[in-house]
Copies of this chain bind each other. A is one copy, B any other.
Amino acid sequence: MSVYSKFETELAVRPDDIDLYQHVHSTRYLDYVLAARFDQMERCYGMAMQAFAQRGLGWFMASATIHYRRPLGWGDRMVVRTWIESFTESGCRVMFEIDKLPTAKRVCEGHCDYTLVTLATGRATPLPEDVRLRYSI
């Protein structure tokens, strides 16, 4: 059972996402996750990526794992669900699932490990207490 809240963002496939097999290009699904995460950081956690940047902080991706179940195609709509699984000293693991709409059939799922960095140096930095608190919902 997940301790932290799951949040949802609805997105639509753009024509420039389609690849030579007439499906969404495999790497674009991670871009959908990123788009959903940006939306949820602002809308659900109340601390947007820009707020991090203003404090000289950024989130770098440390690793990503994605399992593809069925592809999206032209004009499809989806819901992107993400949630925090766990925190480390300077980062967190974000789980994600993408379901096709309106059928709710699973498109892909996986997780991304993010590290908080000081933008000026690019080096990992411990999560400030207020950030950890705000994201522990």
Contacts and interface: CB of A to CB of B under 8 A. Distances in A.
Interface of A: 14-16, 18-22, 25-28, 30-31, 34-35, 38, 42, 48-50, 58, 60-68, 71, 74-75, 110, 119, 122
Contact of A19 (B18, B42, B48, B75): B18
A25 B63 CA distance: 13
A26 B30 contact: yes
B68 A62 contact: yes
A49 B68 contact: no
6 contacts: A18-B19, A27-B34, A30-B30, A42-B75, A61-B68, A63-B66
Contacts of A61: 26, 68
Contact of A65 (B34, B42, B64): B64
Given A63-B67, A65-B66, 9 more contacts: A15-B20, A15-B49, A16-B27, A16-B28, A16-B31, A20-B22, A60-B68, A60-B71, A65-B65
